[in-house]
Amino acid sequence: MPTNNFVESSFWNFDALFQPQQHPARDSHDTFFLDAPSTTKRLPEDYVERVKQIHETGGYESRGYVYDWKREEANKNLLRTHTTAVSSRMLYQLAQKPFAPKKYFSIDRVFRNEAVDRTHLAEFHQIEGLVCDRGLTLCDLIGVLHDFFSHLGMTKLKFKPAYNPYTEPSMEIFSYHEGFKKWVEVGNSGMFRPEMLRPMGLPEDVQVIAWGLSLERPTMILYGIDNIRDLFGPKVDLGLIKKNSICRLGIN
């Protein structure tokens, strides 16, 4: 997916994903809003209208959130908080053509205005994968996740019910770490909600299964690094970069 755009509108980052406008993640203490460019210049108007409707009054068998949806909120520009914003753009584009199944992926940077500490920065990388096809099921998602994570050397997985505004069901993915002797969260996944897919124009029998994880966390676990600044950013030791052995994950 073309993720070479850090600046995003609240519309694609939140509203199109059925994330309500008074959701805590849209707070200024979680999201970087912009002074320049402060508002987005163009949005597809008829789609915006459908998104407004689904938030305000529901539709497509949903009761909606029932609140006053504001265009000014959707227009606010921000630094994308997840690459799912790009996924929503891609799915919308896909829906404008006669339907053909598609798989997408991206690995790129996202921005969060949260407290920084040893393992958190204001920017980090997200890996995202999507499969869009007719008749996909939760079973398919679980099968795909097993395949995907096995390539990262994680074969023992279990799944926990979770919540995302844009997926239902939502699952947190845990993997058993032999070294720590405990289960560690390695990713998040789910099936996109109909309130997100139907206003785009995707047919009723089309489902999208999606999953995401951060790049930094599994890398830190794999290499035993406990401060994220030792891995990424200007404070990384050049000696470490030079000495580090080639990554043999998947060579077997």
Partner 1 sequence: MPTISVGRDRLFAALGRTYTQEEFEDLCFSFGIELDDVTTEKAIVRKERHLEAEEDADEDEEVIYKIEVPANRYDLLCLEGLAQALRVFCECQQIPTYKLADVSKDAMLKMHVKPETSQIRPYIVCAVLRGITFDKARYNSFIDLQDKLHQNICRRRTLVAIGTHDLDTLKGPFTYEALPPSSVNFTPLKQERSFRADELMEFYKSDLKLKKFLHIIEDSPVFPVIYDRNRTVLSLPPIINGAHSAITLETKNVFIECTATDLTKAKIVLNTMVTTFSEYCANKFVIEPVEVVYPDGKSHIYPDLSIYNMEVSLPYVNGLIGVSLEAEEVTKLLNRMQLHAKQSTSDNKQAKFVVSVPPTRSDILHPCDVMEDVAIAYGFNAIKDKAIVDNKGSKRLAASLKLLPLNELSDLIRKEVAMVGFTEVLTFILCSKKENFAMLNRKDDTSKAVIIGNPRSSDFEVYTPYPCSLTAVRTSLMPGILKTVAHNKDHPKPIKIFEVGDISVLDDNNDVGAKNLRQLAALYCGANAGFEVVHGLVDRVMEKNGVPFVSSGDKSGYYIERSDEPEFLAGRQARIIYKGKHIGTFGIVHPEVLNNFDIPDPCSFVELNIESLL
Looking at residues 2 to 31 of the shown chain, list those that interact with partner 1 (rule: CB under 8 A): 2, 4-9, 22-24, 28-29
Q: How many residues bind partner 1 (CB under 8 A)?
A: 88
Residues numbered 38-77 forming contacts with partner 1, rule: CB under 8 A? 38-43, 58, 60-68, 77
**43's tokens:** 């949005």
Nearest-approach distance from CB 248 to partner 1, in angstroms: 18
Beta partners for 212? 128, 188
List the one residue from 47, 99, 159, 176 that touches partner 1 (CB under 8 A).
Answer: 159
Residue 232, interface with partner 1 (CB under 8 A)?
A: yes
Cβ pair 82, 76 in contact under 8 A: no
Cβ pair 43, 74 in contact under 8 A: yes
List the one residue from 57, 153, 226, 236 that touches partner 1 (CB under 8 A).
Answer: 236
- At 147 the three-state DSSP class reads helix
What φ, ψ does residue 97 adopt, rounded to 5°? -115, 165
Among the residue ranges 45-53, 90-98, 169-177, 218-226, the one whose residues contact partner 1 (CB under 8 A): 169-177
Residues numbered 81-100 forming contacts with partner 1, rule: CB under 8 A? none
Among the residue ranges 45-53, 90-98, 191-199, 218-226, the one whose residues contact partner 1 (CB under 8 A): 191-199
CB atoms within 10 A of CB 184: 15
List the one residue from 163, 203, 226, 249 that touches partner 1 (CB under 8 A).
Answer: 163
Residue 32 burial (CB < 10 Å; 0-12/13-18/19+)? middle
Kindly compute the dihedral angle of the four CA atoms of residues 10, 12, 14, 19, in this order, to the nearest 10 degrees. Answer: 140
Q: What mask of x and - would describe binding to partner 1 in positions 111 to 140, judged by CB under 8 A?
A: x-x-xxx---xxx-------x-x-xxxxxx
